[in-house]
Amino acid sequence: MTDLTDLEREHMRQAVDRALQARKESGKAGIAAAILLDGQEIGRGENEVRLQSDPTKHAEMVALTEAAQKLGTTDLSSCVMISTLQPCEMCLSAMRFAGIKRVIFGATQAKVDGKYFVFPRLTLEDFQSSGEAFDAIGGVFEEELLPLYEDGDE
């Protein structure tokens, strides 16, 4: 596992601020994500599941879609995912299909309400051991984020 770059830490801080703000707004879950390419944000998302009545509109999925559309390709292998919550199984699968090899996240699965993970025995390590290298750095700004996710009541 490698350390965060200054730009990654800065973008993670921005995601945390967006998640905290989203939680204050009515109807929004406090989950935010971003896709970085060479340190620049090319995709951004907040959780829109309830707002769009679409179970696939997780913050990471919204950010992936925006980044792929901006680049005109589904190959995001040069990109980094930033998320305020450890990505769920669906989001991790989508990231792997897009070729993303690095994810940086805040709150970890072990410390949040179980509702965020449908298959709790399918772990981050399973996604790391399924082929190509996959760097995952978790717990970034975790203490600040845990109150958003500890009870699953958003």
- Which SS3 state, helix, strand or coil, does residue 28 take? coil
Catalytic residues: 60
**E strand residue ranges, the chain:** 32-37, 40-46, 79-85, 102-107, 135-137
Nearest-angstrom CA–CA distance, 28 and 26: 6
What is the DSSP annotation of 33-68? EEEEETTEEEEEEE--HHHHT-TT--HHHHHHHHHH
Q: Which of 105, 103, 101 is nearest to 86 (CA)?
A: 105
